[in-house]
Amino acid sequence: MEARKSENAVTSVDVARRARVSQATVSRVFSGKSVVRQGTVDRVMTAASELGYRPNAIARSLTSRRTNLIAVVSVDSTHTFYSSILNGISGRLTRAGKQILFFLTDFEAGFDDIFQQVLQYKVDALLIVSAAVSVEITEECSRISLPVVIFNRQIRSSHVFSICSDNRAAARDVADYLAGRGYKAFAYIGSDRRLSDISADRRQGFTERLAELGFGDVRFVCGNYTYESGRTAMRELLDSAGFDAGSRAVFASNDLMAMGAMDAARHEYGLSIPGDIAVVGFDAIGEGAWKSYSLTTVEQPIDKMLDVACSHLMKRLDGKETDGGTRLFRCKILERATA
Amino acid sequence: MEARKSENAVTSVDVARRARVSQATVSRVFSGKSVVRQGTVDRVMTAASELGYRPNAIARSLTSRRTNLIAVVSVDSTHTFYSSILNGISGRLTRAGKQILFFLTDFEAGFDDIFQQVLQYKVDALLIVSAAVSVEITEECSRISLPVVIFNRQIRSSHVFSICSDNRAAARDVADYLAGRGYKAFAYIGSDRRLSDISADRRQGFTERLAELGFGDVRFVCGNYTYESGRTAMRELLDSAGFDAGSRAVFASNDLMAMGAMDAARHEYGLSIPGDIAVVGFDAIGEGAWKSYSLTTVEQPIDKMLDVACSHLMKRLDGKETDGGTRLFRCKILERATA
């Protein structure tokens, strides 16, 4: 047992002694940052391999002031939409030689709650997915020169760079699409603002465009982005007075709620979709394409958005970019069979 | 700009100077590991707060030889099953004061591919979710005294602790359940062994129990754990000769394939489920409960399994447990409406 532990504790000094070079030379060989004669490199590598030496990324970070760690902060990742985003981030950052230190927060608490904990790890940058962040915290990040990129949220800040879909424009498109197909009664299933600004943006775009088209009365039902809350919302809509005419259309702020709404309409009220009622979702998650749903939805250009987020992060790390700002992406309606 | 950077570089020495104590005292205050007079603590905390000092978790790890980092290695996390496991792990480890360094690998490459990269970060332990690991790598981990826990796979090793469902027993239960309900023709949708040992265990349990019950001919179709591959598998089954009689039942090695199989049977062949053909899945993911599916499936006691995995990991870190081994968990059939 002792022999094993001492093997684990081999240092660059041991390697230097065995290779008969200075410790600084061993460091230079492993950092790969300056030129070392090939014969010396070979001697160091042989000694390192014989001793089972492994350079310590963390110790190295203390001298280079770089940890190569990116803190990725996400809300609850069990939703397919978030887990596929995390997968996309993980692949891109790994290919760029970065490592992800993963933090989980919840919708309500947001990022502020875990900020101090994140700071302890001296990460090179922060990538926040869908979590709320206060102005105070973004200012603190600016003060300590910590690059911050926010994905799927919009933050007004001269330091933070936000990558987000143009949710208002997308919701206006949905309004045009549904009105153009002859629907005359409309409802929106969203969430309250505390849970997501995004829902509020979509609601605003949807209702303001419908108002322009002459439909002033858009019902709003509050869900919480789960399948179950979509079911409940549809029940509430169908049980309420005045939403029982034909030509009804429901726009939900994500696909999970849209699918819950569809199942309630079909399996609890015996309605056909889109015959009796149309449903449109948002996100284009894989499940929406399943034959039982074939959900018409709004597709965000997630791959392109992730490319921009990660490449902006890299530019920040290289000091080539320092400004905050927002980049909005245009979405498109993915026509399937529910509207 | 310079002023900001220097603020970031405040060290314990600066705090010690301002508080008029030794640097060792500052360290003691922040490590919380030894008793310091309250007056001194207050002076140090005030000085630290005035200077904007934050103890560096990484620097601290070099003296304590603990990083508090746990490497969590997972296969593709876009499957709901894996993302909910990762969520569960993340919550448990965070509550235990640990931080997750997240590594992604794919089914085929397994863990071996990224082992060297993981080692660079001097993590305290490894938690591997569903990824394959070679004997050589587990031996290397043992040699360097790095605790390893594997979730949802079984590895024979005196060093690695495996947490897994008793897949063979669960599949035997499914055979009993289906035979008991009068089904007479059986098929299994799994994957090839390269992708997952688990599929092979389930197949073995299912076919051996059916053979004991007098049903020697169990068809096998190979999928890859996606919804699409379940659809393709069902088409293959329904197009093949001899599987067109009544009383047919299909057992799929995960819910996603089961749901794909259901959609193919219903929407492409106009079959009713379970009237014309029964379908049973595995995993009990949320989507299986959706009204359009109401999938009968096998439920693994994931919460209990995660509790055991994380508490074993903690015991290992405290040196209270060193042995490898396997703990198998009993699953149960979750009866819904498809068999």
Q: What is the pTM of this model?
A: 0.80
Q: Is the Cβ pair B8, A144 closer than 8 Å?
A: yes
Query: What SS3 class is residue B123?
Result: coil
Nearest to B80 among A78, A145, A259 (CB): A78
Determine how β-strand A332-334 pairs with β-strand A297-299: antiparallel
- Identify the H or E element spanning B250: strand B248-252
For residues B256 and B290, membership in a common domain is answered with yes
A111 and A176 together in one domain: no
Q: Which residue has the higher pLDDT, B209 or A106?
A: B209
Residues A95 and A73 in one domain: yes
**Residue B241 maps to a domain:** yes
Task: Identify whether residues B231 and B119 lie together within a single domain.
Answer: no
Interval B154-195: pLDDT, tens: 888 888 999 999 999 999 999 999 999 999 999 999 998 766
Closest-CA residue of B relative to A68 is B121
Give the long-range contacts of residues B105-111, CB within 8 A, separation 24 or more: B105/B73, B105/B74, B105/B75, B105/B131, B106/B75, B106/B76, B107/B75, B107/B76, B107/B131, B107/B132, B107/B195, B107/B196, B108/B194, B108/B195, B110/B134, B111/B73, B111/B137
Residue B49: pLDDT band with limits 50, 70, 90: confident
Do A295 and A313 belong together in one domain?
no
- Is residue B200 scored above 90 in pLDDT? yes
**Domain count along chain A:** 3
pLDDT of residue B32: 56
Residues B307, B161 within the same domain: yes
- Tokens read off for A117: 């904990």
Which of A120, A232, A290, A295 is best to mutate for the B interface (most B CBs within 10 A)? A290
A143 and A209 share one domain: no
Q: How far apart are CA A111 and CA A136, in angstroms?
A: 11
Q: Which residues contact A152 (CB under 8 A, 6 or more apart)?
A: A85, A129, A130, A163, A164, A165, A198
pLDDT band (50, 70, 90) for residue A102: confident
pLDDT of A65: 65
The CATH number of whichever domain residue B226 belongs to comes to 3.40.50.2300
Residue B24 lies inside a defined structural domain of this protein: yes
Residue A60 is assigned to a structural domain of this protein: no
The b-or-e profile of B248-261 (16+ CB within 10 A means b, else e) is bbbbbbbbbbbbbb
Q: What percent of chain A has a predicted confidence (pLDDT) above 70? A: 90
**Is A63 a member of any domain?**
no
Search chain B and give the residue with CA nearest A9: B144
Does residue A64 sit within a domain? Answer: no
Looking at the fold, whether A147 and A267 belong to one and the same domain comes out as: no
Q: Would you say residue B246 has pLDDT above 60?
A: yes
Q: In chain A, what residues touch B76 (CB-CB under 8 Å)?
A: 87
Model confidence at B6, in pLDDT bands (50, 70, 90)?
very low
The ipTM assigned to this model is 0.76
Residue appearing with tokens 């600066």: B14
For residue B259, the chain A residues in CB contact (below 8 A) are 290, 292
Chain B residues touching residue A86 (CB < 8 angstroms): 77, 83
Determine the average pLDDT of the residues in B141-153: 91
Of A143-157, A232-246, A261-275, the range with the highest mean pLDDT is A261-275
CB contact under 8 A, B120 and A78: no
In terms of domains, do B145 and B225 share one?
Answer: no
Q: Contact A77/B86, CB-based, under 8 Å? A: yes
Residue B153 and residue B229 in one domain: no
Best CA proximity match to A205, nearest among A42, A328, A334: A328
| B212, part of any domain | yes
Average pLDDT over residues A185-202: 88
Q: How far is B295 from chain A (nearest CA, A)?
A: 13
Report if residue B334 sits inside a domain: no
B55 or B244, which is more confident: B244
pLDDT value, residue B92: 92
Full residue range of the structural domain in which residue A123 is found: 69-165+302-329
Instruction: Give A-chain residues touching B4 at CB under 8 angstroms.
Output: 143-145
Q: Mutate one of A69, A121, A271 to test the B interface: name it (highest B CB count within 10 A).
A: A121
CB contact under 8 A, B58 and A122: yes
Q: Are residues A288 and A194 in the same domain?
A: yes
* Closest residue in B to A5 (Cα–Cα): B144
